[in-house]
């Protein structure tokens, strides 16, 4: 299954009390048959633990590149909502009322809000969902994977994206005088050590913070008030460094500096799961690209994007819609072409995992194609306009250009 963060999966595993994988069953029990895949749902794998998440990412990625999703795909997502406003990872019978046994969570709810808000026409659903999210905010200003769970960087970041998606300022959503930005800054590791600037997923039992690249990628975007799709800033001329995190924006820049270091050697992040062999983490590498672009350092993500172009095809084909969506969002954020990504058309591949889209963007005219070619990456993988922007910074002497990033996370 594809979820944006392994840490959230582990948290949910503890809550549910069994391994979070479609094939996992209690010891000695017979495997339950995989549920039938609804016609409006993207992907063909068991949706029990990621149905809403992968649907939300697929719809959000399609919207980002100008694809209008099929109505039944959007209706399926909206129909997963409980009367409380919350979403569970998947409800096989959406007509049945949600009860105390329905495992709703903040991540599925926030992802659904971001997708439905982007598509428009779902103010009632997103309003109820945000009201539920506000009702389960922790006293430190953050959110855990489930209501009442200890705040973590990933969940807090994705909720920030949901708040921003509906036009709510995350800084104004507080509990006990603490906003979600306070919760994120608290999870930022102070400068000075090897991992200075990184974000932890959660403190350990002794309150110690351990660097987590996955949590860092999520928190950088969240601390800048943006959502899952990000919103690349114009290039920031200041060199990346770690300074005292006296604001969420500063904490985000510190996190970006950490991600650049984490990507420097192999140009990808590594999956570190208990009991499993370390291996490249394609999804979180894509998330790191979105984070760097959101922080104004998309040029620093070019090598990671080229690595993904070369190595991610098999992973995406095996993993399905959420993987394609992550790559589409990363390519879009880093000014790479998702329709010509290492010879692959990511948009076409994503569309093929679900119902046929209602409409596709118009084919570019000859003049538009020529114009687009002029904007393509140069041999270094950096957009020509990116370079021009940096040149303007020096010429005008402003120090750095400021912009806003995303469609869904903080103001």
Residue 35 has what pLDDT?
Answer: 72
Residue 364 has what pLDDT?
Answer: 57
Residue 296 has what pLDDT?
Answer: 94
Tell me the CA distances in angstroms from 380 to 19, 140, 179, 303, one per residue in order.
43, 43, 40, 9
> Residue 166 corresponds to which tokens in the numbers above?
């509906």
Residues recorded for the chain? 411
Residues of the chain with pLDDT under 50: 1-28, 365-411
β-pairing, 269-271 vs 279-281, is antiparallel
Tell me the CA distances in angstroms from 353 to 75, 185, 287, one per residue in order.
17, 38, 21
Residue 276 has what pLDDT?
Answer: 75
Residue 305: strand pairing partners: none
φ and ψ at residue 233, rounded to 5 degrees: -80, 160
Instruction: Give the C-alpha separation, 171 to 173, whole Å.
Output: 6
| Helices assigned H by DSSP within 166-207 | 180-186
β-pairing, 104-105 vs 269-271, is unpaired
- Which of these, 182, 228, 202, 287, lies nearest to 11 by C-alpha position? 202
321-333 helix and 282-294 helix, angle to the nearest 10 degrees: 30
Asked if 219 contacts 199 with a C-beta cutoff of 8 angstroms, the reply is: yes
Return the ∠ at Cα 111 (arms to 32 and 85), rounded to 5°. Answer: 85
pTM attached to this predicted model:
0.83
Residue 26 has what pLDDT?
Answer: 41
Instruction: Give the C-alpha separation, 2 to 344, whole Å.
Output: 20
Instruction: Give the C-alpha separation, 66 to 339, whole Å.
Output: 12
Residue 192 has what pLDDT?
Answer: 92
- Which of these, 38, 151, 54, lies nearest to 108 by C-alpha position? 54
Exposed / middle / buried, residue 20 (Cβ in 10 Å: 0-12, 13-18, 19+): buried
Asked if 199 contacts 192 with a C-beta cutoff of 8 angstroms, the reply is: no
């Amino acid at each position: 299954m594809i979820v944006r963060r392994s840490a959230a999966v582990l948290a949910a595993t503890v809550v549910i009390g069994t391994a979070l994988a479609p094939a996992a069953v209690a010891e000695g029990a017979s495997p339950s048959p995989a549920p039938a895949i609804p016609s409006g749902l993207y992907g063909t794998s068991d949706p029990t633990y990621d149905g809403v998440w992968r649907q939300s990412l697929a719809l959000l990625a399609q919207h980002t590149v100008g694809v209008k999703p099929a109505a039944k795909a959007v209706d399926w997502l909206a129909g997963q909502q409980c009367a409380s406003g919350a979403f569970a990872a998947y409800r096989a019978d959406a007509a049945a009322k949600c009860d105390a046994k329905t495992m709703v969570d903040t991540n599925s709810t926030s992802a659904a809000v971001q997708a439905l808000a982007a598509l428009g026409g779902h103010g009632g659903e997103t309003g109820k969902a945000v009201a539920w999210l506000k009702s389960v905010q922790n006293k430190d200003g953050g959110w855990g994977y489930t209501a009442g769970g200890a705040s973590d960087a990933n969940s807090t970041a994705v909720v920030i994206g949901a708040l921003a998606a509906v036009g709510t300022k995350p800084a104004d959503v507080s509990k006990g005088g603490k906003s979600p930005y306070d919760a994120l800054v608290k999870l930022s590791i102070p400068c000075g050590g090897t991992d200075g600037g990184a974000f932890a997923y959660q403190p350990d039992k002794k309150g110690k913070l351990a660097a987590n690249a996955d949590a860092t990628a999520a928190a950088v975007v969240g601390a800048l008030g943006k959502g899952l799709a990000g919103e690349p800033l114009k290039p920031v001329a200041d060199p990346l460094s770690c300074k005292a995190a006296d604001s969420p924006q500063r904490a985000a820049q510190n996190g970006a500096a950490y991600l650049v270091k984490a990507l420097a050697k192999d140009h990808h992040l590594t999956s570190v799961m208990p009991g499993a062999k370390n291996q490249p983490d394609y999804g979180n590498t894509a998330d790191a690209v979105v984070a760097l672009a959101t922080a104004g350092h998309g040029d620093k993500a070019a090598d990671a994007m080229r690595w993904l172009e070369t190595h991610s095809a098999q992973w995406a084909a095996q993993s399905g819609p959420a993987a394609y969506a992550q790559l589409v969002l990363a390519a879009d954020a880093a000014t790479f072409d998702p329709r010509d990504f290492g010879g692959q058309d990511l948009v076409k591949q994503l569309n093929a995992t679900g119902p046929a889209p209602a409409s596709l963007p118009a084919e570019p005219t000859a003049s538009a194609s020529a114009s687009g070619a002029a904007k393509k990456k140069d041999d270094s993988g950096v957009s020509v306009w990116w370079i021009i922007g940096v040149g303007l910074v020096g010429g005008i002497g402003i120090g750095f250009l400021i912009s806003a990033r995303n469609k869904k996370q903080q103001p």
